């Protein structure tokens, strides 16, 4: 009889809840979930990104057309069938929104270069217009101006590739009007509730942050507050009289909290809510009623604090019927009577619902991926463990279905550090994790030092620590799983994208005996060349990057010590590298030089390059190629063994 062994994911969960394991290696036969086709995890959703027109009469959504995500529109009352309004065949549409009741706006780039252009199209598919299609120019949405029918405010770096100037754009005619000229250091612009551009945030070399303000658009911007980039006051939106600012700040505190900031006095007047464990970063309001509604933060799941009783009652009503899942309101009409509701969980991509507040009607309108049976998916368990310097590291452990903490022993494990690195893993449906769990691997995800959401001190502890204590946090999680008996020490692999790809290479070079295989997806290999090839619009923040990562001149010894490409001779285990040829963030040379260094030393390395991709593979067929190759690679090196 073929017996399955699994070691990594259960161990992490046991560690987090500090259970005392016996360390026994008892063999257990488990009932496995059926093997699900790889394509089911990574194919485009059936329908997704639902929005509602401002007048509440039409749904819009994205769905595949010739294997690319395009925009469709359908009447809410079901009186007609859905109309496809775009016909993109080269690449998925990157994102879209309603410009007014008749017109939708969408962004797309070319081959993953991230130079997004904005296009407009009527809800019946007519009157398609290129609005910001300029060579090598990137478009940012500054304000969708929901209360002004024919205009939006965009940022364009067409005058200077390093900085974005704000423009008022007529979405019918394409007319652009520059609202201000970026002096070279402004990274963020903010409008008031009348669509007037009144706040800017400048970063001088990335080290000092200056908040600029003007009372009217006729005045010049004036600096009102300067802080180090580590001390944040991030303005979110104006108070409803357009006099003060709702902001999120960590000034004088470790954890971010929502505050009211007076730009006339440059003082925080009130702290609205605070949490002593986690950063509070989400802040929402009602445009119709002019009230603050919720603040949100992420513990192991997203949690809300309500400022407004009506908002609380709305969520309670939705959770009454949908409470087995996480519930999010993703869009609403201008009158705030009709809502798009999204559900999800760790085992389900979820569904979209339509809620009519006036009739109290709640109806499902689509499942995102109806071919996914959540009963065959694995649970994502919150865990925590102690680093070697006694820091608490939070994370998640996903065990293959059929295993629990009692039966998970000696499992093959895939360690999956997140990208960023100044980001975090969160609870929810992750197709990569579920795919790996379905193939019998335990998956360990950890929010190593520097991960966001845990306060200023935890974030700052990552500065200058690529390949050092940040990597130690990952290593300590692996050893914790092994010590608990969950992980088979001979069958641990590491896989990650972007910074997670760097962590993969660092793990393979700096702890070569720990991993049996590695998969690097668009990861950094050389910190010198990485810093020299960042996109031009990151260059105003270069001094900040130097402080957070390292200065190639003054920190050259450390950067050489922590650049995996210079230590390729230490790698003992097989490696698979995947890269997009047009990646603007992690240049293809990062992967090329690592592959060359390995092959020159006779180390086994499998290399996949996609010429029509950038920082991660967006096109469906490329995802299939990558995950299919990764499946075979992991099966060969850490897969199940015959007994």
Cis geometry, peptide bond prior to residue 345 (ω within 30 degrees of 0):
no
Beta bridge partners of 35: none
Averaged confidence pLDDT in the chain: 93
Which residue spans of the chain are classified as CATH 2.120.10.30?
Answer: 45-147
Give me the mean pLDDT over the 32-36 stretch: 92
- Tell me how far apart the alpha carbons of residues 385 and 365 are, in angstroms, rounded to a whole number: 41
Secondary structure (DSSP) of 482-502:
HHTT-EEEEEEEEEEETHHHH
Residue 270 among the catalytic residues: no
Residue 584 has pLDDT above 60, yes or no: yes
Task: Using alpha carbons only, give the angle 507, 512, 518 rounded to the nearest 5 degrees.
Answer: 55
Residues 6 or more apart from 589 whose CB is under 8 A from it? 529, 533
Beta bridge partners of 520: 496, 577
Domain 9-41+382-638: homologous superfamily in CATH: Alpha/Beta hydrolase fold, catalytic domain (3.40.50.1820)
Residue 32 structure tokens: 């496995």
- Tell me how far apart the alpha carbons of residues 409 and 412 are, in angstroms, rounded to a whole number: 9
Handedness of CA 39, 40, 41, 45 (dihedral sign): positive
Say what percent of the chain tops pLDDT 70.
95
Of residues 204 and 221, more confidence is placed in 221
Task: Tell the burial category of 458 from Cβ atoms under 10 Å away from its Cβ (0-12, 13-18, 19+).
Answer: buried
Which pLDDT does position 343 carry in this prediction? 98
- Tell me how far apart the alpha carbons of residues 605 and 508 are, in angstroms, rounded to a whole number: 12
Which pLDDT does position 29 carry in this prediction? 64
Question: Among all chains, which residue has been given the structure tokens 């006036």?
Answer: 358
Contact 308, 292 (CB under 8 A): yes
Give me the mean pLDDT over the 414-423 stretch: 97
The residue among 460, 484, 559, 575 whose CA lies nearest residue 523 is: 575
Q: Tell me the CA distances in angstroms from 612 to 39, 68, 110, 585, one per residue in order.
A: 20, 14, 8, 15
What is the CATH number that goes with domain 45-147?
A: 2.120.10.30
Residue 133 has pLDDT above 60, yes or no: yes
Question: Among all chains, which residue has been given the structure tokens 């030092």?
Answer: 449
Contact 513, 573 (CB under 8 A): no
Task: Using alpha carbons only, give the angle 517, 521, 522 rounded to the nearest 5 degrees.
Answer: 140
Q: Are strands 176-178 and 165-170 parallel, antiparallel or unpaired?
A: antiparallel
The terminus-to-terminus CA distance of the chain in angstroms comes to 8
Residue 563 structure tokens: 């650049």
- Tell me how far apart the alpha carbons of residues 157 and 164 are, in angstroms, rounded to a whole number: 4
Residue 137 structure tokens: 């120019």
Of residues 4 and 573, more confidence is placed in 573
Catalytic residue among 117, 387, 498, 591: 498
In residues, how long is the chain?
643
Secondary structure (DSSP) of 330-382:
EEE-TTS-EEEEEEE-SS---EEEEEETTTTEEEEEEES-TT--GGGSPPEEE
Catalytic residue among 113, 279, 473, 583: 583
Quote helix, strand, coil % in the chain, to nearest 5. 20, 35, 45
Contact 247, 257 (CB under 8 A): no
The model's pLDDT over 366-411, given as tens digits with 9 standing for 90+, comes to: 999 999 999 999 999 999 999 999 999 999 999 999 998 788 999 9
Give me the mean pLDDT over the 446-474 stretch: 98
Which pLDDT does position 26 carry in this prediction? 43
Which pLDDT does position 17 carry in this prediction? 31
Secondary structure (DSSP) of 269-306:
EEE----SSS-EEEEEEETTTTEEEEEEEESSSEEEEE
Residue 498 among the catalytic residues: yes
Which pLDDT does position 602 carry in this prediction? 81
Contact 612, 584 (CB under 8 A): no
Note the pTM of the prediction, 2 decimals. Answer: 0.92
Residue 47 structure tokens: 């329908």
Residue 278 has pLDDT above 90, yes or no: yes
Contact 412, 488 (CB under 8 A): yes
- Tell me how far apart the alpha carbons of residues 290 and 349 are, in angstroms, rounded to a whole number: 33
**17: helix, strand or coil:** coil
Which residue spans of the chain are classified as CATH 3.40.50.1820?
Answer: 9-41+382-638
Contact 437, 403 (CB under 8 A): no
- Tell me how far apart the alpha carbons of residues 315 and 318 are, in angstroms, rounded to a whole number: 5
Give me the mean pLDDT over the 118-141 stretch: 96
Which pLDDT does position 627 carry in this prediction? 98
Residue 143 among the catalytic residues: no
The model's pLDDT over 447-459, given as tens digits with 9 standing for 90+, comes to: 999 999 999 999 9
Catalytic residue among 394, 418, 567, 615: 615
Give me the mean pLDDT over the 528-534 stretch: 91
pLDDT band at residue 536, thresholds of 50, 70 and 90? confident
The model's pLDDT over 540-560, given as tens digits with 9 standing for 90+, comes to: 888 999 999 999 999 999 999
Which pLDDT does position 641 carry in this prediction? 65
DSSP 570: G
The residue among 374, 517, 412, 404 whose CA lies nearest residue 3 is: 412
68-75: strand order across its sheet:
48-52, 58-65, 68-75, 83-84
């Amino acid at each position: 009889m073929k017996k399955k062994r699994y070691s990594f994911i259960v161990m992490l969960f046991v560690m987090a809840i500090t259970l005392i394991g016996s360390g026994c290696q008892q063999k257990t036969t488990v009932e496995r979930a059926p093997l699900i086709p790889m394509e089911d995890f990574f194919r485009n959703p059936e329908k997704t990104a639902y929005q509602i027109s401002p007048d509440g009469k039409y749904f819009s959504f994205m769905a595949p057309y010739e294997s690319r995500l395009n925009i469709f529109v359908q009447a809410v009352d079901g009186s007609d069938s859905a109309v496809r309004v775009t016909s993109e065949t080269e690449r998925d549409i990157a994102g879209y929104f309603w410009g007014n009741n008749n017109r939708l706006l969408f962004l797309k780039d070319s081959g993953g270069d991230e130079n997004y252009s904005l296009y407009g199209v009527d809800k019946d598919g007519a009157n398609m217009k290129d609005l910001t299609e300029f060579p090598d120019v990137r478009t940012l949405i500054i304000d969708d101006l929901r209360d002004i029918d024919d205009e939006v405010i965009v940022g364009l770096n067409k005058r200077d590739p390093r900085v974005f100037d704000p423009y008022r754009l007529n979405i019918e005619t394409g007319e652009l009007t520059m609202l201000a000229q970026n002096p070279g250091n402004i990274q963020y612009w903010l409008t008031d509730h009348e669509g007037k551009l009144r706040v800017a945030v400048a970063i001088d070399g990335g080290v000092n942050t200056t908040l600029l303000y003007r009372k009217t658009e006729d005045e010049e911007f004036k600096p009102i507050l300067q802080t180090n980039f580590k001390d944040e006051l991030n303005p979110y939106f104006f108070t409803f009289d357009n006099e003060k600012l709702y902001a999120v700040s960590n000034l004088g505190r470790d954890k971010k909290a929502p505050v009211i900031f007076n730009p006339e006095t440059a003082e925080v007047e009130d702290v609205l809510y605070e949490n002593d464990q986690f950063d509070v970063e989400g802040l929402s309001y009602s445009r119709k009623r002019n009230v603050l509604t919720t603040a949100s933060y992420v513990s192991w799941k997203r949690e809300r604090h309500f400022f407004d009783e009506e908002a609380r009652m709305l969520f309670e009503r939705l959770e009454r019927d949908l409470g087995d899942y996480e519930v999010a309101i993703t869009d609403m009409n201008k009158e705030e009577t009709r809502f798009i509701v999204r559900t999800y969980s760790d085992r389900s991509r979820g569904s979209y619902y339509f809620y009519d507040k006036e009739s109290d009607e709640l109806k499902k309108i689509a499942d995102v991926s109806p071919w996914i049976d959540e009963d065959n998916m694995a649970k994502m368990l919150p865990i925590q463990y102690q680093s070697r310097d006694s820091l608490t590291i939070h994370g998640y452990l996903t065990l293959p279905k059929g295993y629990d903490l009692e039966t998970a022993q000696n499992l093959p494990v895939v360690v999956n550090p997140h990208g960023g690195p100044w980001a975090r893993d969160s609870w929810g449906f992750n197709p990569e994790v579920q795919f790996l769990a379905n193939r019998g691997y335990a998956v360990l995800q950890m929010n190593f030092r520097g991960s966001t959401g845990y306060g200023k001190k935890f974030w700052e502890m990552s500065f200058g620590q690529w390949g050092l204590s940040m990597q130690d946090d990952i290593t300590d999680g692996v050893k914790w799983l092994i010590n608990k008996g969950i992980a088979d020490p001979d069958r641990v692999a590491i896989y990650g994208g972007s910074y997670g790809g760097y962590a993969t290479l660092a793990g393979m070079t700096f702890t070569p005996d720990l991993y049996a295989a590695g998969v690097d997806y668009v990861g950094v290999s050389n910190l010198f060349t990485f810093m020299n090839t960042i996109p031009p619009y990151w260059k105003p923040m270069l001094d900040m990057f130097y402080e957070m990562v390292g200065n190639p001149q003054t920190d050259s010894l450390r950067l050489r010590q922590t650049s995996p490409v210079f230590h390729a001779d230490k790698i003992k285990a097989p490696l698979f590298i995947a890269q997009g040829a047009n990646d603007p963030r992690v240049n293809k040379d990062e992967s090329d030089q690592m592959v060359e260094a390995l092959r020159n030393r006779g180390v086994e390395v499998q290399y996949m390059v996609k010429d029509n991709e950038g920082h991660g593979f967006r096109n469906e067929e490329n995802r299939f190629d990558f995950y299919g190759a990764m499946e075979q690679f992991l099966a060969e090196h850490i897969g199940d063994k015959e007994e």
